[in-house]
Amino acid sequence: MSIEVRPCADVEEYGAGLSAIWQFFGAEPDAEGLERFQRVLPLDRMHAAFEEGAVVGGGGAFVFSMSVPGGSLPCYGVTVVGVQPTHRRRGVLTRLMRAQLDDARERGEPIAALWASEAPIYGRFGFGVASLCGDLELARERTAFHAPYARVAQARFVERDEALERFPAVYDRVAAETPGMLGRSRDWWEVRVLLDPEARREGGGPHRRVLIELDDGEAAYAIYRHHPKWEDASAVSSIQVIEALGTSPAATSEIWRYLLDMDWTAWIKAQLLPIDHPLQLLLAEPRRMRLRLSDGLWVRLVDVGAALSARSYQGEGRLVLEVSDSFCPWNEGRWELADGSARRTDADSELRLGVSELGSAYLGGFGFADLERAGRLEELTPGAVARADTLFRTNRKPWCPEIF
């Protein structure tokens, strides 16, 4: 039987396409959920795979920009990609990815990004691991800072509507200087970040939202929930930090000191923290964080020339990259990076690498020397790896605080 992949034509097809992945999470789309989801993933950005008129797979792409070194760039946010278990190993996923990356190119979105539910899959389609993140589990009695710390600001609870108005100011300031963070629309804040349905609580309480203000206004916020538990008449509860951001070192210290000082708490837990989080130097015993690393964002350059030309570089220099890209052959060939822009060239190659490796280096998450040590690129001109690392160096490691 032949498989056809195309954008969804109506809400019924849209829901069937989502069911291909949602079933694996034990969920089914309902009318309210579909209406809400379309606010961030429009109908025409959801592809479905059909066999004899029946949907057998689906994949969508969120609309957002992503922070890159020196600015931001439209990003094709690949999500909800799934194939019905009745049609595995029949090329459905490959056809979906083909349709999605062609769509990204036609829309002029130079990079694509995703969180990989199964890591081995997406390297085949040119995505590379672009960031790492860490999960924290810190015992309450091990939360002391390396030096005595006196709080200088008062945290206060805010209702959802005030959070919707005040939190974005903090987030946007942090995102402007952190590669990998998403540009959040108001709809995104409403239906992704601040929405708190029972199904997301995993036995915990509702969202708690606090704001810290300093002299220049909104400085930090946290979204967290309590997971109450008692043993032998004593609280062994935990709090789950969903998101905590500060616009400055002082603001970051303030919001985390608030979270770490929570009464009736035995454990403070957080997921998806950046690997260069200040807590590793703030805490007196950073080893007590039990920080467990994992891959975070996966990035794919849909248009190598446009993507390389859109980010900033450290210092001046020239570099010729020979890029292989069998899935998107329009990217293949030699690219000269000079004066902050990339163009095709016939000059001799200095580095040879695949587009997935370029995706790993693009945001600054991994250096070219890292790739070379892993056997993931070939240095053709002595010193080219060192020059590449100088050009692509960033002050912050890339980070995305949420799975999409």
333: three-class secondary structure by DSSP: strand
**What is the pairing mode between strands 71-83 and 54-68?**
antiparallel
Residue with tokens 């002299």: 215
C-alpha–C-alpha distance, residues 243 and 4, integer Å:
40
Q: Which residues are catalytic?
A: 122, 404
CB 120 within 8 A of CB 288: no
Q: The tokens of 377 are what?
A: 């690129």
Q: Largest Cα–Cα distance in the chain?
A: 74
Q: In what order do the strands lie in the sheet with 4-7?
A: 4-7, 46-51, 54-68, 71-83, 111-115, 297-301, 128-129
**b/e sequence 266-301, b meaning 16+ C-beta within 10 Å:** bbbebbbbbbebebbebbeeeebbebeeeebbbbbb
Beta pairing partners, 58: 48, 82
148 contact partners, CB below 8 Å, separation of at least 6? none
Backbone φ and ψ for 394, nearest 5 degrees, come out as -125, 155
What is the distance between the terminal CA atoms of the chain, rounded to a whole angstrom? Answer: 32
| 314 CA to centre of own chain | 24
Q: Which amino acid does the sequence have at 213? A: E
Q: The tokens of 217 are what?
A: 């206004």
C-alpha–C-alpha distance, residues 59 and 76, integer Å:
12
| 198 CA to centre of own chain | 24
C-alpha–C-alpha distance, residues 235 and 263, integer Å:
9
| 181 CA to centre of own chain | 6
